[in-house]
Amino acid sequence: MHPCSCDTFVALPPSTEGQRIIFGKNSDRPCDEVQEVLYFPAADYEPGAKVECTYIQIEQVAHTYAIVLSRPAWLWGAEMGANEHQVCLGNEAVWGRESPDGKEALLGMDLVRLALERADTAEKCVDVLAELLEKYGQGGACLEEQCDFTYNNSFLMSDRKEAWVMETSGKYWAAERIEGGYRNISNEYNITTKIDREHPDLRKYAQRKNWWNGKSQFNFAAVYSYKNTSRIEASGSRYCEGKKLLQKSHGHITAQTMMDILRDKDSGVNMEGMFMTTGSMVSVVLVDPALPGVHYFTATPDPERCVFKPFVFVENMRVQLKETASPTYGPEDPVKKKPRFQSKPDRKHSLFAKHEVAVAIIETHKERGTRITHGLRELECERMKQMEEILYCGVEQPETLLDLFPTSTVQNVALSA
């Protein structure tokens, strides 16, 4: 049985070339769903302020960090993203012995955004997520339609020095620190006996449910999964295939390596079909805090036919990413009106619409399609070369980077026409 959505990866020294952390994720969602890329500046809030998430309202914090997100256009949260402190985060759907009860709460994607807004390290993401799960829970429809498709979540987050995996079942969770090498997560629990942090009642709850006898070594995946952990390592699973792709480049993993992994269709990482890869992200973060991070996003489906466009955080940014921002419908949005999802409005942003045209040309006009594909790859290579200079030398003129992502997107649109 193949997992049915998403893969997230991280590589740290000594698996990477140079003193870099490389983060990557494919967001696998319904094939007709639009994914947008948006930037939100840092903000301050008055005491008692609230924030409206996808389904519920929760308490706002005094300060939120600047973030860049890739998200399904109909919801508030995000599939993946990064913040001004170079924390990167993505989530996965996981299923185990217990599933959310369908009650509207925080989506896993809401939790991704909230953690990026509130945590300046990967470990602090664990703290934020744990607090939110305890206080508000997780649940609600995860598709833009009336359905029972809901799930628990696992998270992979990284910063300049380490990464963490956090896997959840309701409000219960386990977390594992990754200080070097590489790690990937798909749609299975894969924290086993190395548990660095956990919910205080994680084991007691398992005992009360008769999942664990309290005497044998506690293995989170074995206890909370449907079956034991042999399923995770089964040949043919995307988790296993993703792990092999990382292992193949161990010691030499770069941003290009991660992009190639996310484009790999033979492994199933680049999904096709009714559920497909609708957005992709690759981040390069230097261990040296004096140097910037570069975050690449596609904002369109199938990374094999997309350009990874760079974004760099610059102090006091107020840029709008218009070409990858979907139309908004305010309080009249069918997601907000109850009963929800009575209709599905057009959420295509400018780049998405042009991408659809380009894909049609690539599939039906071989010569012209080849020219388009070649032009897109040239743009990507050119931008990556420019970003390497920034990664090595730092940002000498921040104002030159304010329109980096928008300009790359406009070029992407032009090449797709």
Predicted model pTM: 0.95
What is the mean pLDDT of the segment spanning 17-23? 96
Q: By the 8 A CB rule, do 417 and 314 touch?
A: no
CB atoms under 10 Å from CB of 322, counted, come to 12
- Mind listing the pLDDT tens digit for each residue in 242-280? 999 999 999 999 999 999 999 999 999 999 999 999 999
Show the DSSP H helices in 255-343 as ranges.
255-262
Q: How far apart are CA 69 and CA 80, in angstroms?
A: 6
d(CA 361, CA 348): 19
Closest of 156, 178, 159, 179 to residue 168, by C-alpha: 156
Residue given tokens 């206080």 in the structure block: 135
Residue 259 amino acid letter: M
Q: What's residue 417's pLDDT?
A: 66
Look at residues 327, 342, 324 and name the one whose alpha carbon lies nearest to residue 408: 324
Confidence at 4, pLDDT banded by 50, 70, 90: low
Report the relative pairing of strands 181-185 and 7-12 from DSSP bridges. antiparallel
**What is the pLDDT, as a whole number, of residue 320?**
87
390 close to 289: Cβ distance less than 8 angstroms: no
The beta strand positions in 287-405, using DSSP E, are 293-297, 309-311
Tell me: pLDDT of 337 over 80: yes
Which of 235-249, 273-287, 360-374 tops mean pLDDT? 273-287
Write down the pLDDT at residue 236: 41
Q: Where are the domains of the chain?
A: 7-416
- Output the six-digit token pair for 235: 């040949």
pLDDT in tens, 348-365: 999 999 999 999 999 999
Among the listed residues 115, 160, 114, the one whose alpha carbon sits nearest the alpha carbon of residue 21: 160
- Active centre residues (catalytic): 6
Indicate the DSSP class of residue 83.
E
Give the integer Cα–Cα distance in Å for 42 and 65.
4
The answer to whether residues 8 and 25 touch, using CB atoms and an 8 Å cutoff, is yes
What local confidence, expressed as pLDDT, does residue 227 receive? Answer: 58
Alpha helices in 164-313 (DSSP H): 202-208, 220-224, 238-248, 255-262
DSSP state of 326: P
Please write the tens of the pLDDT for every residue from 133-145. Answer: 999 999 999 999 9
User: At residue 235, does pLDDT exceed 80?
Assistant: no
Q: Say which CATH architecture domain 7-416 belongs to.
A: 4-Layer Sandwich (3.60)
